Amino acid sequence: MANLLITGAAGFIGANFVHYWLARHPADRVVALDALTYAGNINNLDGAMANERFRFVHGDIRDGELMEQLLADADIDLLVHFAAESHVDRSIHGPEAFIDTNVVGTHVLLQAARKVWLEEKRIDRPVLFHHVSTDEVYGSLASDDPPFTEQTPYAPNSPYSASKAASDHLVRAYHHTYGLPVTTSNCSNNYGPYQFPEKLIPLMLLNMLEGRSLPIYGDGRNIRDWLYVEDHCVGIDGVITHGRRGETYNIGGNNEWANIDIVQLICRLLDQRFGRDPSLAERFPAAPAAGGGRSEELITYVTDRPGHDRRYAIDATRARNELGYQPAESFETGIEKTLDWYLTHEAWWRAVMDGSYREWVERHYAQG
């Protein structure tokens, strides 16, 4: 039986991991920590709240006293660190919050773990600090470059990726300097339930439903490797359970797609659903498909963002060979599940898409 502290637990990937872990590890206890900033939503954890093995704590990873108290009092032996500012666009316009949370916050957590686990020896069994990172720390790939491996040199290009690279190095340093048991996973772009609608897939889908423009940066040919969020949870589980301490594992979806191709696919899939289900036209009358139109009519090309990386791709060979990791979802199956979730959770996304969010989207995706 393990006692987990999951940071960033009310965010997109963190909440999915909470639900995954409680279902897959029925003997374990989970303490979920979140500061509930704009992208953290307590409603993401509704299904866990009634579980007697689950406890939610509203707190900030930069609060060292609270972190030490939680690790000690809850007898934590496994810390899974998701908490981070994660949106590249926001990091371009306001990098300070990314340094504060991603670098300083991670260091406060590491300090707390070192003190409680190594110096005070409050836990009498094996412990682990698992750090969740991103493929963006590796920089950008040309179209004919091989995918990122764990040996790819770091070359972050945005304030976001630079802050995550710094946190990765801190985790590595605490292992090599102090002997803190750690693992790190670098993942490709996630998608699926509970994703805050500033990211590409939910932004495009919800704009289609509301008849709003679909803003595509540049020529739309920027390529990402897409990973269904539950496959990511499975990969993290494998790293925690079987990964070598002090090592890094890349977790990818084997799904390279250009942004414009993703948007066009979602347009086609959504239009097909409107054709099969007349009730969708009643629920979303502003959608082009409600009147027999095509969602692709909403596509609008806008000025590219500064320093936009051209391509990311993950080589997950090490995770496959050492951990037996293999994503279960193709992009086609994963995107269908994602559409299902958003169409059946309208109340959730309507609650998140308030006036301040709409104002931010319109300002940062202004037409060029």
Q: Which one of the listed residues 34, 68, 89, 160 is annotated catalytic?
A: 160
Token output for 193: 């339930």
DSSP SS3 for 86: coil
- Stated as kind and residue range, the H or E segment containing 18 is helix 12-24
Phi first, then psi, for residue 99 (nearest 5°) are -65, -40
Q: Residue 250 belongs to what H/E stretch?
A: strand 248-251
What are residue 182's phi and psi, to 5 degrees?
-135, 160
Q: Find the farthest-apart pair of alpha carbons in the chain and give their distance in angstroms, rounded.
A: 67
- DSSP run (H or E) holding 323: helix 317-323
Catalytically annotated residue among 34, 136, 230, 256: 136
User: In whole angstroms, what is the distance from residue 342 CA to residue 347 CA?
Assistant: 9
Please return the burial class of 10, using the count of CB atoms within 10 Å of its CB with bins 0-12, 13-18 and 19+: buried
Given 34, 68, 89, 135, which residue is catalytic? 135
Q: Is 312 a catalytic residue?
A: no
User: Catalytic: 38?
Assistant: no
Any catalytic annotation for residue 194? no
Catalytic residues: 135-136, 160
